[in-house]
């Protein structure tokens, strides 16, 4: 510890009805030639430039009560004139975005990530930070509480008051919720955990805590006790429609559909609750994989601009593989349910011809401008480092088990990554994951990784899954709602004709959102943005378009009327057979003993 004075912050939800936080930042010993301050351009875990400084409404500086002149020097940096004595910057932040990455304040609650509200004094990244979190003014907010994993510095548990962080990076890694949330707690491997849910809901908190305990304990034991965090907080925002999460070192922020939360009356894990538990499991796994086992490129984070790494497949893909696998390993869902989820992941990959054009390392590197800025051509141009990354993790796991006759698995790779990088704080070099995997395998995995990460061929999943008695099959999609993972509802159906597009409901027709490479629509000249209004002279909309097309044989020529902008156009499309791009994974019945043993070792139970 140095004797340098801490950077002091004060955050006040000054006007909840106008969505405004007032923030003050005080530096006791400003730089003699003038102190600069800046806000981050992005938030770790979400690889897109968001320019948080755009939400600063006004800003002023003062030294011992006297105004100090401030000049803005770029989109996110302010420079103060030289002054003697403590310098305080006071500014107002508009908090109008309800998302896990931003800040939101209204009369029902307040939420913020430090990246959006706490300005960093230049050169003080390593200083201790002390934060006063104040309640909104007025009687109406007297029952508000605070939920955060930040260490208190005098504030009572869940109270307003003083909190502290060891440095700026830690400060902005503890999101804060304030309001009237429901709160429950549990212990996992000796570590206290809490769940705080904001928003109207009817969740069975006991059930939730019981199920989360299993997930958390499994993960702590996977990496090895003791857990790296002294406490952990699940911050949940329950809404009507929404899904997403962001990982932090000792907490996660989640947004979910309130219907996905468990009900007291429900014994089994339904589809919605399965999705929610998968999200919790995903973000919790990041406590190790990306928050502590970190790419060298993020050690430390440069929050002022894009930071590229070819490793996002490992941090998001491996995490996406384990999140659902752990649900079945802990017995929360049966293997069949897990294989359905895995089949859906594979379907997401197989449905895009972009997988033949972009490799996983390219997808990782270009996350900032491609994955996070997807347009209508995305399925034809890119591959997801989440979905394909999860499949590579699966393929790697099964390959390691095969090479070592079941002696080693991806679990060993994760443990070694944790020992070598996570515990030491050394960043993972760009070839670090491949090297650790080869070390665990005891043989070179160069060929595997060249194909899986730098190549664009499909992964040999059918072959690898055979080792664990799981069949991998492809079939044509049945409808726009068909997410894959399950056998066809109508197994008698012959080849299904398709236009090769996706659409959404719009007034007067079906609005084309995506046109797939090589499909009938693309060949006919349909374009994303077109409004399909008729097929062969009969009105069409998003509800009946698929049914109308299905009534023709493959190879039939149909006239499609579309509005492109405001111009009515007639196009002729020759219907093609729907491609076999939907994956179904199932347990092969009555496998031999050795296969059964390998399956058990993989899925648990
Ligand atoms: Zn993630």
346 C-alpha to ligand 1 centroid (Å): 17
The domains of the chain, with CATH numbers, are 7-177 (2.60.40.3650), 180-268 (3.30.2010), 288-471+601-605 (1.10.390.10), 497-577 (2.30.42.10)
462 C-alpha to ligand 1 centroid (Å): 26
pLDDT one-digit tens code per residue, 270-320: 999 999 999 999 999 999 999 999 999 999 999 999 999 999 999 999 999
Among residues 114, 90, 91, 87, which one has the least CA distance to residue 27? 87
How far, in Å, CA of 315 to CA of 295, rounded? 9
Residues 6+ apart with CB under 8 A from 564: 527, 529, 530, 531
423 C-alpha to ligand 1 centroid (Å): 20
46 C-alpha to ligand 1 centroid (Å): 9
Element of type H or E holding 208: helix 205-223
How far, in Å, CA of 479 to CA of 539, rounded? 19
Inter-helix orientation angle 335-350/318-329, to 10°: 160
Local structure of 235: helix, strand or coil: strand
392 C-alpha to ligand 1 centroid (Å): 16
How far, in Å, CA of 526 to CA of 515, rounded? 7
- Give the count of beta carbons closer than 10 Å to the beta carbon of residue 511: 20
283 C-alpha to ligand 1 centroid (Å): 6
SS (H, E, C) 345-361: HHHHHHCCHHHHCCCHH
> What are residue 191's DSSP bridge partners?
188
- Give the count of beta carbons closer than 10 Å to the beta carbon of residue 442: 11
pLDDT of 1: 47
Ordered mean pLDDT values, 10 residues apiece, the chain (605 residues): 86 98 98 97 98 98 96 98 96 97 98 98 97 97 98 97 98 98 98 98 96 98 98 98 97 98 88 98 98 97 97 98 98 97 98 98 98 97 98 98 96 98 98 98 97 98 98 94 91 86 96 97 98 97 94 97 98 96 96 97 91
Percentages of the chain per state (helix, strand, coil), in multiples of 5: 30, 30, 40
């Amino acid at each position: 510890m140095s004797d340098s004075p801490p950077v002091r912050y004060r955050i006040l939800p000054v006007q909840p009805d106008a969505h405004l936080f007032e923030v003050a930042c005080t530096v006791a010993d400003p730089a003699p030639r003038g102190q600069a301050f800046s806000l981050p351009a992005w938030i770790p875990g979400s690889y897109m430039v968001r320019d948080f400084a755009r939400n600063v409404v006004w800003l002023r500086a003062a030294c011992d009560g006297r105004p100090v002149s401030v000049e803005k020097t770029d989109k996110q940096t302010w420079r103060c004139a030289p002054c003697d004595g403590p310098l305080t910057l006071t500014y107002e932040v508009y908090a109008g975005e309800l998302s896990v990455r931003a800040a939101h304040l209204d009369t029902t609650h307040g939420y913020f990530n430090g990246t959006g509200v706490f300005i960093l004094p230049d050169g003080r990244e390593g200083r201790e930070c002390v934060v006063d979190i104040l309640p909104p003014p007025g009687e109406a907010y007297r029952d508000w509480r605070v939920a955060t994993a930040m260490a208190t510095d005098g504030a009572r548990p869940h109270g307003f008051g003083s909190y502290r962080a060891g440095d700026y990076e830690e400060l902005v890694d503890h999101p804060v919720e304030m309001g009237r949330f429901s709160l429950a707690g549990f212990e996992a491997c000796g570590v206290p955990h809490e769940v705080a849910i904001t928003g109207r809901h009817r969740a069975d908190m006991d059930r939730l805590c019981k199920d989360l305990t299993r997930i958390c304990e499994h993960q702590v034991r996977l990496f090895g006790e003791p857990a790296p965090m002294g406490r952990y907080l699940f911050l949940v925002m329950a809404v009507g429609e929404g899904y997403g999460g962001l990982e932090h070192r000792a907490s996660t922020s989640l947004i979910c559909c309130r219907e996905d939360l468990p009900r007291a009356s429900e014994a089994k894990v339904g589809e919605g609750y399965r999705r929610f538990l998968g999200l919790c499991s995903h973000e919790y796994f990041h406590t190790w994989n990306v928050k502590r086992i970190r790419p060298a490129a993020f050690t430390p984070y440069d929050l002022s601009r894009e930071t590229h790494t070819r490793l996002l497949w490992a941090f998001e893909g491996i995490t996406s593989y384990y999140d659902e696998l752990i649900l079945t390993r802990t017995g929360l869902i049966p293997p069949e349910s897990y294989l359905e989820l895995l089949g859906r992941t594979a379907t997401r990959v197989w449905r895009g011809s972009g997988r033949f054009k972009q490799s996983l390392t390219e997808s990782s590197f270009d996350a900032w401008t491609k994955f996070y800025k997807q347009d209508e051509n995305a399925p034809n141009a890119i591959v997801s480092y989440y979905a394909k990354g999860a499949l590579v993790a699966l393929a790697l796991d099964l390959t390691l088990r095969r090479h070592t006759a079941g002696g080693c698995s991806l679990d060993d790779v994760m443990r070694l990554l944790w020992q070598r990088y996570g515990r030491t704080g050394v960043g993972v070099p760009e070839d670090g994951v491949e090297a650790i995997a080869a070390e665990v395998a005891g043989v070179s995995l160069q060929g595997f990784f060249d194909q899986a990460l730098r190549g664009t061929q499909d992964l040999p999943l059918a072959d690898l899954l055979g080792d664990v008695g799981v069949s991998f099959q492809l079939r044509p999609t049945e409808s726009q709602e068909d997410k894959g993972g399950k056998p066809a509802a109508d197994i008698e159906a012959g080849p299904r004709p398709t236009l090769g597009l996706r659409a959404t409901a719009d007034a007067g027709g079906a609005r084309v959102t995506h046109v797939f490479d090589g499909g009938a629509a693309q060949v006919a000249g349909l374009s994303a943005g077109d409004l399909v209004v008729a097929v062969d002279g009969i009105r069409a909309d998003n509800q009946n378009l698929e049914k109308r097309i299905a009534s023709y044989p493959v190879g039939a020529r149909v006239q499609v009327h579309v509005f492109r902008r405001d111009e009515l156009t007639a196009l002729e499309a020759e219907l093609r057979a729907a491609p076999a791009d939907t994956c179904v994974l199932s347990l092969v019945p009555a496998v031999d003993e050795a296969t059964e043993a390998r399956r058990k070792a993989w899925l648990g139970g």
